[in-house]
Chain A
Amino acid sequence: AQKITQTQPGMFVQEKEAVTLDCTYDTSDPSYGLFWYKQPSSGEMIFLIYQGSYDQQNATEGRYSLNFQKARKSANLVISASQLGDSAMYFCAMREGTDYKLSFGAGTTVTVRA
């Protein structure tokens, strides 16, 4: 079964606007971590933000914030004040407490328009 689901294959956003990227996950482990990565066309995978299952507050990192809804098993990434350099593929990933590897979703392509 798919552990991470990203239903939006592609999105367009106007420069300076905010965009929300959806991510739902599936696990029965009470202890898990959720990660978001950015992959520009150059191919490098850049770690953006982390949310732990026991964290009481939503994670934030600069213009990135994570809308964590534990009961709904969703961990949506919000990018505020989009910039042209934000155009990239974005991946949601999960590590379950008993594991060490990350399981990735299929990704969402974001294109920022000037």
Chain B
Amino acid sequence: GAGVSQTPSNKVTEKGKYVELRCDPISGHTALYWYRQSLGQGPEFLIYFQGTGAADDSGLPNDRFFAVRPEGSVSTLKIQRTERGDSAVYLCASSSTQGLNSPLHFGNGTRLTVT
């Protein structure tokens, strides 16, 4: 079946602009996660959705970052007034359950470059 799909795969934007990154999880997966990965580093947690609600947004770096999942499927990560430090790969993942042994299935990421 189809995996996690993220669009766009690459996004270049100017400092100060607004961007939206989209994630389409595996069908039927209720749990959805956003992570950010800087070059040579491990993924850092941003936000977690269970269904439509953000169950944990403790990883969002500041109020310029926001994410929604209005119908419990597709999610959009929104970044306002982008800064050069926001440049990174943004990874989306989904899982079928919240069980301890349930792995996250990742998309290929969106590489965001802020110039």
Contacts and interface: CB of A to CB of B under 8 A. Distances in A.
Asked if A and B bind, the verdict is yes
Interface in B2-58: 31, 33, 40-45, 48, 50, 55-56
Given A100-B48, A101-B33, A101-B45, A35 B100 contact: no
B109 A43 contact: yes
Interface residues of B, number: 27
B55 A100 contact: yes
Given A44-B106, A47-B103, A95-B100, A103 B45 contact: yes
Contact of A31 (B42, B100, B108): B100
Given A43-B109, A106-B41, A101 B48 contact: yes
A113 B48 CA distance: 39
Contacts of A93: 42
B112 interface: no
Contacts of A43: 89, 108-109, 111
B112 to A, nearest CB: 13
Given A100-B48, A100-B55, A101-B48, A45 B100 contact: no
Given A45-B106, A50-B103, A97-B100, A104 B48 contact: no
Nearest to A49: B103
Contacts of A52: 100-101
A58 to B, nearest CB: 15
Interface string B92-115: 010000101101111111010000
A33 B91 contact: no
A33 B100 contact: yes
A32 interface: yes
13 contacts: A32-B100, A43-B109, A44-B107, A44-B109, A47-B104, A47-B105, A52-B101, A91-B43, A100-B31, A100-B50, A100-B56, A104-B42, A107-B40
Interface of A: 4, 31-33, 35, 37, 42-45, 47, 50, 52, 91, 93, 95, 97, 100-107
